[in-house]
Structure 1
């Protein structure tokens, strides 16, 4: 997913919820943020990460990789 308007200096937060058995990985480029979340069948797993960026990036993308049996929701805020 493209981050419309790019990534501005300041706080960038990423909240992910998932359900279903498997490992989910989130990456944010070009800032180099990447983190995993182990998802569990029958319950919701969550994680929250926040970065404080010193400079703007003209473009930004968030990528979620997970097995098809994993359902997920993501919120990205700045």
Structure 2
């Protein structure tokens, strides 16, 4: 497990001990009203999706790269009323 946040709310930057990966999986559950986005830095791959009032949404992305890349932080952008959980792990094909 590279990143695990059980009770995020609103926007937040999560520092990660620098780690090299060839691929990763992301799971982001959100509840509230508005749009939520997540970016892996310095890779700068951003995912965005809506959160609906009284509904739990799920986004997942699995990737595999031929070259290792270093992850240093994760940036979640969301309105203050949006609650979320996040898990990022290594992708093992």
- Class of the TM-score when normalised by the shorter of the 2 chains: 0.7 to 0.9
Paired position in structure 2 for 1:56: 68
- Relative to its length, the structure with more strand (as a share) is 2
Q: Please report the TM-score for the alignment, with normalisation by the length of structure 1.
A: 0.85
Q: Please report the TM-score for the alignment, with normalisation by the length of structure 2.
A: 0.73
Q: In structure 1, list runs of 5 or more residues that go unmatched.
A: none
1:17-75 deviations in Å (ceiling 9; x for gaps)? 00000100101122231011100111101110111122223442211000010001110
- Residue 21 of structure 2 is aligned to residue 8 of structure 1: yes
Moved segments of 4+, more than 3 Å? none
Aligned residues: 77
CA RMSD of aligned residues (A): 1.5
